[in-house]
Amino acid sequence: MVPGGKARVPFFLSLVGGMFYLVISLAVLYAASIGANFYAVYNIGLGSNGDLFAEILAGVGLISALAILLGAAMMNSSSAERVKRGGTLVLLFTIVGLFPVGGGYIIGFILALVGGIMGLRWKPSEQAPAAMPQPGPASP
């Protein structure tokens, strides 16, 4: 790790997990907008309200995806406090978006969950002490 560097791995994992959530949310929203019987996946009979239900699920999933991406962007910082806030945001919305978008094909859930946990546990590394100049031969 680079001394005083950024939380690169938690950022990357959360970013990729958030992208999975975003893609699935947009797919659910598209399916609901064309009137597909997508809500049947949830095995509930809603009649004519099924399209509205799918749109609400897609909306919640879309908000979750954007919040995960925002948390990932916050983790791309060298400030420990900002990284922890981003990790908390990622964890919270990873759980919130689990039901509406199936956790982004589960792989998105796992990536965002691990990235959020790593973001919470991340600590900036200590700066290495400046190298002392080596004494050379004494000048006459």
Q: Where are the domains of the chain?
A: 8-121
The top-scoring range by mean pLDDT among 69-73, 96-100, 103-107 is 69-73
**pLDDT of 3:** 52
Widest CA span of the chain, in angstroms?
Answer: 98
CB crowding 27-59: b at 16 or more within 10 Å, else e: ebbebbeeeeebbeeeeeeeeeebbeebbebbe
Better pLDDT: 91 or 47: 91
Q: Is residue 54 over pLDDT 80?
A: no
**Tens digits of residue pLDDT in 73-99:** 999 988 999 999 999 999 999 999 988
| Cα atoms in the Cβ-side hemisphere of radius 13 Å centred on 13 | 21
Indicate the pLDDT class of residue 49, thresholds 50, 70 and 90. Answer: low
Residue 42 is classified by DSSP as G
Full-model pTM: 0.79
Report yes or no: 119 and 12 within 8 Å, Cβ to Cβ.
no
The span from the CA of 131 to the CA of 140, in Å, is 26
